[in-house]
């Protein structure tokens, strides 16, 4: 077998695997109970990444008070979230929602069709959002909430461009948004 044929087979197989991690309308996709940190599923333009079975033991009132100056100084720095967020990242980039209301179940800011991704329920959810989430001056408009889920939840999409449901077993997850280029600069996809 020639090198070109083998290479083509590898590329075709890789593309097939990539398509398995995108949820189609009417389809339900579930993170495996054996998911590994970094596993992800895309529900349209919303990326859902499994970060681990538990969240780092931080973010209580004492930690936040002790890091308040650092939070203010580093709020808009450039943090790399290609791996598990560190304690410092969580303290300086995210803020905990003390009470999760129905409106807080929304996972994407805005009013357009692409912002209709939401959790099915707030039970068993600890949610953290980036400082300035949904504001024009948000540090990184591609970063969404992170959350610890202690009981199974579902990510739904109520917009016209229906997406399949994503089932999240208990775990620690990060939500990100698809990037597009608009007028020569990077922006969040609006579906």
Query: What is the reported pLDDT for 62?
Result: 47
Using CA atoms, how far apart are residues 16 and 141, in angstroms rounded to an integer?
A: 29
Residues 6+ apart with CB under 8 A from 90: 56, 58, 59, 128, 146
Would you state the pLDDT for residue 112?
Answer: 79
Segment (H or E) for 188: strand 185-188
User: Mean pLDDT in each 10-residue stretch from start to end of the chain (191 residues)?
Assistant: 76 61 74 89 90 67 46 41 56 82 89 85 92 75 88 88 88 83 49 46
- Tell me the sheet residues that pair with 54: none
CB 116 within 8 A of CB 158: yes
DSSP 8-state class, residue 72: H
Q: What is the pLDDT of residue 162?
A: 74
Q: State pTM to two decimals.
A: 0.69
Contact 48, 175 (CB under 8 A): yes
Q: Is 131 helix (H, G, I), strand (E, B) or coil?
A: coil
Q: What is the dihedral angle through the alpha carbons of 61, 67, 71, 72, rounded to the nearest 10 degrees?
A: 110
């Amino acid at each position: 077998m020639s090198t070109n044929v083998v290479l083509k087979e590898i590329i075709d197989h890789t593309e097939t695997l990539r398509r398995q991690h995108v949820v189609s309308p009417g389809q339900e996709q579930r993170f495996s109970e054996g998911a590994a940190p970094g596993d992800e599923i895309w529900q349209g333009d919303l990326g859902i990444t499994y970060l681990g079975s538990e969240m780092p033991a931080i973010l209580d009132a004492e930690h936040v008070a002790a890091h308040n100056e650092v939070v203010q100084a580093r709020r808009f720095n450039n943090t790399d979230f290609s791996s598990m967020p560190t304690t410092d990242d969580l303290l300086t980039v995210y803020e905990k929602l003390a009470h999760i209301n129905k409106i807080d179940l929304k996972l994407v800011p805005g009013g357009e069709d692409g912002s209709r991704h939401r959790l099915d329920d707030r039970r068993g959810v600890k949610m953290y959002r980036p400082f300035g989430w949904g504001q024009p001056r948000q540090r990184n408009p591609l970063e969404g909430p992170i959350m610890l889920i202690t009981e199974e939840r579902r990510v739904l999409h109520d917009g016209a461009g229906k997406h399949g449901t994503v089932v999240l077993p208990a775990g620690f997850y990060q939500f990100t948004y698809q990037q597009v280029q608009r007028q020569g600069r990077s922006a969040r996809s609006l579906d």
